[in-house]
Amino acid sequence: AGAPFRMSVLIAAYFFFPYLTMFLDEFVTMPPNELDEITSKFGPGISILYGTFVSLTLNILYNRQQSIQKDVSTESALLSLIQRKILSIFRDDRESAIEGSQCVADQIRTLVRGSRGMELMGIMYSDPYARILELIEDHEYKLLTQSNDLGAQGVVLGSARDVLKDLVKVRAQRLSDEALALPP
């Protein structure tokens, strides 16, 4: 049920309520002082219950938002770090540097503008982190076939793999936090 449906229900209830009270007024025969007595005893309990419910709901939403913001901040920092590593690893390979940088740009675009569903579909069809890992593995394979040694880039390649592993974990945590919902 989307926002237009909810709004139409609210408007219908708002306009229908006076007619409902006039109709029920004929069936409920109660002196006004009894109604005041019921309201004075029942009202405070209901308002405390409602206030507690609203307070708990807002607290849950705030904690959820805080957790998602923490995950996004961590993922953004790791994306910055992997971008530096991509530029370092593919210093001599312009095509791979552009492709790796495009993967990072795609993930940033998803973080900024995409929905959770779009991101999950993107992961299924073309995961940016898997594409970066594939580029790194191809580069590693080239180095090993050329000189049978990774040389100084071995440390950078290992570090890039570790950053990618952390990125995948943080993304999974963020998607999990985004999936948490309050009961309807």
Write out pLDDT tens, residues 82-95: 999 999 999 988 99
Provide the pLDDT for residue 104: 93
Contacts of 165 (CB under 8 A, 6+ apart): none
69-83 mean pLDDT: 93
19 or 81: which leads in pLDDT: 81
CB 36 within 8 Å of CB 138: no
Token pair recorded at residue 98? 């552009």
- pLDDT over threshold 70, residue 149: yes
For 42-66, the pLDDT digits (tens) are: 788 888 988 998 999 888 888 888 9
Q: How far apart are CA 125 and CA 143, in angstroms?
A: 29
Mean residue pLDDT of the chain comes to 86
With cut-offs at 50, 70 and 90, classify the pLDDT of residue 184. Answer: very low
Cα distances from 2 to residues 9, 60, 78, 175, in angstroms, run 11, 22, 35, 22
